[in-house]
Amino acid sequence: MESRPLATQPHQRPPSKEEKTRSIWGDTFYHLFKNKLALVGAIILTFFILLAIFAPLLTSYTIDKTNPSIRLMPPSSEHWMGTDDLGRDVFTRVAHGARISLLIGLFSISGALVIGTTLGLVAGFYGRWVDMLISRIFDIMLAFPSILLAIAIVAILGPSLQNAMLAIAIINVPIFGRIVRSKVISLRAEEFVLAAKAQGMKNGRIMFHHILPNSLAPIIVQATLGFGIAIIEAAALGFLGMGASPPTPEWGRMLADSRGYIQNAYWTVLFPGLSIMLVVLGFNMLGDGLRDALDPKMKDQG
């Protein structure tokens, strides 16, 4: 009989000496910043974060000071982004609006992450009727279009920035919950979990000290992408008059107030809309880079 050649394994690049000495998170950041698109996203977000932090120092105008004599002035050396229909400086309002939009994303996604992760851990770890109950709640929430559910929540609670953040947090809970639940189900039969149970470790400690740390990768990616989604949802609620109230310079509200001047004063719509687009783009690019950096298969191809 003729001898057949042994099946060869797919070629994998052996790790270098430098890669062996890096920690897991150090290796993740190394691959993240090798990704040019992720780097561009990080630069965009850094710009808007610095703009939000130093907004009071970058302009001498206030967000609510009106001056009808200079209403709808085009961009100039005095007003970099022009003025709106009430004579307010658009750059000042965009810069301070960055604070509001980023804070909306931070608080909304943080709340959704904490609640969704906890429910996902409980559902995936205990299974049976607990899993069925929590999963059906997630299914019911996901059956509604997210923005319509957010509108319904704000309509019940009353239009305000705080209620808008609460609504955005609630509609994002099932997204985190389902991601964590599926990860926990794949991990609960692993040897390190069975060993912890055999040692008599309590379920809470197993979930939060053993399973959760091994589930962080998809949570981090979803949280990064969720920031951009939360900012869009907040802008949509603001545009509909269900978010921040005047004179708060929230980007979606600015678009709503300026939509009647889009033909003869384009700058009043352009700069808030461009800010929303760039921030969401930055979070999406960074999230895609994190997903690739946390995926071992993508690292092997690098």
DSSP string, 167-209: HHHHHHHHHHHHHHHHHHHHHTTSHHHHHHHHTT--HHHHIII
CATH of the domain at 135: 1.10.3720.10
- Host domain of residue 227: 34-50+93-296
Residue 56 lies inside a defined structural domain of this protein? no
Decide if pLDDT at 299 tops 80.
no
Contact 165, 235 (CB under 8 A): no
3-state secondary structure of 265: coil
Return the closest-CA partner of residue 290 out of 38, 43, 112, 45: 38
Decide if pLDDT at 7 tops 50.
no
Q: How many domains does the chain have?
A: 1
Q: Which two tokens mark 67?
A: 């001056």
Decide if pLDDT at 34 tops 90.
no
Residue 251 lies inside a defined structural domain of this protein? yes
**According to the per-residue pLDDT averaged within each range, which of 30-44, 181-195, 222-236 is highest?**
222-236
Can you tell me which residue has the tokens 């993240």? 32
Task: Indicate the pLDDT class of residue 33, thresholds 50, 70 and 90.
Answer: confident
Residue 24 lies inside a defined structural domain of this protein? no
Residue 256 lies inside a defined structural domain of this protein? yes
Q: Give backbone dihedrals phi and psi of 72, rounded to 5 degrees, phi first.
A: 55, 35
Global pTM value:
0.83
Decide if pLDDT at 189 tops 60.
yes
Decide if pLDDT at 168 tops 90.
yes
Residue 239 lies inside a defined structural domain of this protein? yes
